[in-house]
């Protein structure tokens, strides 16, 4: 059997088909997700980020464009052009499936299907998608990025980003271990994908792990794998993230959240470049490039005895500290304009830019949530605006908040409380937006916000959500 890699999303309203594919496809794909209708397709594309979508052509929906499959195939290609769509069709719909291929679908599968043919088509679509994503990321000389389904990070013209880009050009082609630090929302994960896309491993998988979201009891199983029978629910062998990334890049996000007693186990695997699955005895060599990221001050954690010093030096061969958005103000308007283009396309709006009032108000904000906050703000404005040019009114930043920010920047006393209140309101709104967009999925919302699940739980409790 071929090596498992890639992600596939199955959209089909037949429970039996979803259950059958949930058994079959994990033998060929590292991650499989199924949903019964396109009603959650947009949010699932954003949170799951598949390489391939296996899409049924008929649902009981309100879409009246002639055929649901054709409509949703088109929507997928608009939202995520590098994702390959394979249409799932009955014999009567073959002509429509052929029309779907003309519109960009990779291929179609006729029900009832032949397993061998199904796997041949789906893995072919996966391989094409993964190669296209690598080529696309390498071709974007003015951007960083490459995360499937994510907006690329704009390098900009600010001094700190110019310096980082020069360092990036030197280290990306190497196998050097990289530690990326910075506040939430500064684009640490996007930079990690860009490093991989410009490396000699770009044709191999990059496996991303939210270390802060893995429970302690599952940590070893998720990262190192387990053998059948290792514990009660271990019904089959499981390949861990290290082995999934073999030949490519492993990205450990939120590494500062790993408990101290588990750091030793992680260090041993990084040093030995081999893993022993839980319940197993065989040491399995892994050839990976390691990229780590955190919003924490690891040096301070080392001094406090909360992070192993030997692990810190092992992951810190090259350190890139991404600046907060408030330290690269000249990049704010260009970033906003890129997000306008992105969401105008996504939501079929005809919005072409910002007027002077909107640009000024954006440049005057502190942006405690950094690029992620700016992106969410622009997305909301694009959805709600009735104009072709966004104005200060569309951006929806009230004057009191703006004056509080300006006063704090000028050093005028007596306004720090307003600033704190504004930041708290902004944080609460970001949490609300993330929970709405992910339909209450805690893991997906935490990933979107760039925080760990415990942190998100605390925020939900704090804001009464």
Q: What is the pLDDT of residues 243-298, one digit of tens each?
A: 999 999 999 999 999 999 999 999 999 999 999 999 988 999 999 999 999 999 99
Shared domain check, 39 and 90: yes
CATH of the domain at 249: 3.40.50.300
CATH of the domain at 81: 3.40.50.2300
**Which of 137, 172, 199 is at the close of a domain?**
137
Shared domain check, 77 and 37: yes
pLDDT of residue 423: 58
pLDDT of residue 450: 63
Dihedrals φ, ψ of 360, to 5°?
A: -65, -40
Shared domain check, 354 and 282: no
Residue 1 lies in a domain: no
Shared domain check, 305 and 201: yes
Side-chain-side CA neighbours of residue 394 (13 Å):
25
Dihedrals φ, ψ of 143, to 5°?
A: -135, 160
What is the spatial distance between Cα 396 and Cα 380, in angstroms, rounded to a whole number? 9
Higher pLDDT, 67 or 22: 22
> Is residue 145 scored above 60 in pLDDT?
no
> Is residue 226 scored above 60 in pLDDT?
yes
Shared domain check, 337 and 192: no
Shared domain check, 339 and 295: no
Burial class (CB in 10 A: 0-12, 13-18, 19+), 36: middle
> Is residue 409 scored above 60 in pLDDT?
no
User: What pTM does this model have?
Assistant: 0.58
- Residues with Cβ < 8 Å from 415, sequence gap 6 or more? 403, 404, 407, 408
CATH of the domain at 373: 1.10.8.60
Q: What is the pLDDT of residues 130-140, one digit of tens each?
A: 776 554 443 33
pLDDT of residue 132: 66
- Of 267-271, 303-307, 419-423, minimum mean pLDDT range: 419-423
What is the spatial distance between Cα 146 and Cα 192, in angstroms, rounded to a whole number? 9
Shared domain check, 388 and 438: yes
**Which of 111, 137, 163 is at the close of a domain?**
137
Shared domain check, 312 and 168: yes
For the chain, what is the mean pLDDT?
82
Task: Find the domain containing 342 and state its range.
Answer: 328-462
Shared domain check, 420 and 382: yes
Higher pLDDT, 408 or 284: 284
Shared domain check, 360 and 288: no
Separation of CA 124 from chain center: 23
**Which of 137, 170, 203 is at the close of a domain?**
137
66-95 mean pLDDT: 79
Dihedrals φ, ψ of 408, to 5°?
A: -65, -40
Residue 157 lies in a domain: yes
> Is residue 173 scored above 80 in pLDDT?
yes
Q: What is the pLDDT of residues 329-347, one digit of tens each?
A: 999 999 999 889 888 887 8
pLDDT interval class at 211 (50, 70, 90) = confident
Residue 299 lies in a domain: yes
> Is residue 125 scored above 60 in pLDDT?
yes
- Residues with Cβ < 8 Å from 432, sequence gap 6 or more? 463, 465
For the chain, how many structural domains are there in total? Answer: 3
Shared domain check, 347 and 452: yes
Residue 2 lies in a domain: no
Shared domain check, 156 and 133: no
Q: What is the DSSP letter of 33?
A: E
- Of 110-124, 129-143, 369-383, minimum mean pLDDT range: 129-143
What is the spatial distance between Cα 10 and Cα 99, in angstroms, rounded to a whole number? 20
């Amino acid at each position: 059997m071929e090596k498992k890699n890639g992600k596939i999303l199955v959209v089909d309203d037949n429970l039996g088909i979803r259950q059958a594919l949930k058994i079959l496809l994990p033998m060929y794909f590292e991650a499989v997700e199924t949903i019964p209708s396109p009603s959650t397709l947009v949010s699932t594309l954003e949170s799951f980020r598949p390489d391939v979508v296996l899409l049924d052509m008929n649902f009981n929906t309100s879409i009246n464009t002639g055929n649901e499959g054709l409509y949703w195939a088109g929507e997928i290609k608009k939202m995520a052009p590098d994702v390959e769509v394979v249409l799932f069709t009955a014999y009567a719909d073959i002509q429509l499936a052929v029309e779907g291929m003309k519109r960009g679908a990779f291929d179609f599968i006729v029900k009832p299907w032949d397993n061998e043919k199904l796997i041949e088509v789906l893995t072919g679509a996966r391989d094409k998608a993964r190669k296209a994503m690598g080529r696309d990321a390498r071709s974007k000389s003015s951007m960083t990025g490459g995360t499937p389904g994510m907006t690329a990070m704009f390098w900009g013209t600010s001094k700190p980003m110019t310096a980082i880009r020069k360092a990036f050009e030197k280290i990306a082609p190497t196998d050097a271990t990289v530690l990326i630090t910075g506040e939430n929302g500064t684009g640490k994960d996007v930079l990690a994908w860009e490093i991989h896309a410009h490396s000699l491993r770009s044709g191999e998988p990059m496996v991303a792990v939210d270390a802060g979201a893995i429970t302690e009891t599952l940590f070893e199983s998720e990262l190192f794998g387990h053998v059948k029978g290792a514990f009660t629910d271990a019904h089959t062998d499981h390949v861990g993230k290290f082995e999934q990334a073999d030949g490519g890049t492993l990205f450990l996000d939120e590494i500062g959240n790993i408990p101290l007693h588990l750091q030793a186990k992680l260090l041993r695997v990084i040093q030995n470049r081999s893993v022993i699955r839980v319940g197993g005895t065989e040491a399995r060599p892994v050839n990976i490039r390691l990229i780590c990221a955190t919003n924490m001050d690891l040096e301070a954690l080392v001094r406090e005895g909360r992070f192993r010093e030997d692990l810190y030096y092992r992951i810190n061969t090259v350190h890139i500290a991404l600046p907060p958005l408030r330290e690269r103000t000249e990049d704010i308007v260009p970033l906003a304009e890129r997000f306008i283009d992105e969401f105008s396309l996504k939501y079929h709006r005809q919005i072409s830019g910002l007027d002077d009032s909107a640009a000024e108000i954006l440049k005057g904000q502190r942006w405690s949530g950094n690029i992620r906050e700016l992106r969410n703000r622009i997305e909301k404005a694009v959805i709600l605006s009735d104009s072709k040019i966004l104005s200060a009114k569309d951006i929806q930043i009230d004057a009191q908040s703006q004056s509080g920010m300006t006063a704090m920047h000028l050093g005028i006393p007596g306004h720090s409380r307003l600033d704190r209140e504004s930041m708290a309101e902004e944080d609460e709104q970001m949490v609300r937006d993330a929970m709405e967009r992910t339909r209450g999925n805690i893991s997906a919302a935490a990933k979107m916000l760039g925080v760990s699940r415990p942190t998100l739980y605390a925020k939900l409790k704090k804001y009464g959500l």
